[in-house]
Structure 1
């Protein structure tokens, strides 16, 4: 019996990444503002390369599976998810602006970046 090949190691790394993102997603179920579905989308992608059984578990999950499938099939984000994303970005920018007191150019650059991200999120199908 020889050493494990690069495919074995690669699958192991993808599996570990999948477990990491699944863990973050599960934490997000109970921690406000932590994006559960985003982490499960990333976990499903990692499991697609390492564990079809765990990928299927995420895709078939009764509460979150349809969000992951909607993203895969149509790049869709649910209206509630869009609302939370917009609120999170607005809240995050407010905290940044009040706590860091950034220079005007930095405040504008961050605001522009967040506006571009918000426009992209809002352009996704629901």
Structure 2
């Protein structure tokens, strides 16, 4: 089966991101509409209900390198969050600690990553973790 070129793949993701994902709890789009390489993206996750994240909006930066989708994007939280896979120094998601990034395959997408991060927020181990004050950033 032929592999879809990087830019076609990212165009598909952009179109999907602009339409909104599922229930609207995650969204993403290009940081700069003139970015011809479609490398830098912004993402948003609305914290899952019945957790310490409820009613919080988390902003993230997403970078799709030249080898995307063969290699996972890099993800960095702008909003401060306390999760075991997020560096408390700079907000970078440590790929080796987040299964969707650690076991990446080219069928995954920016959407997959955001949805999985949100699921992790709602997981038993993370749903009650103390969080930094709302609105604080890295």
Give me the TM-score of the superposition, normalised by structure 1.
0.30
Higher relative contact order (CA 8 A, sep 6+): 2
- Report which of the two structures shows the higher radius of gyration computed on alpha carbons: 1
- Greater fraction strand: 2
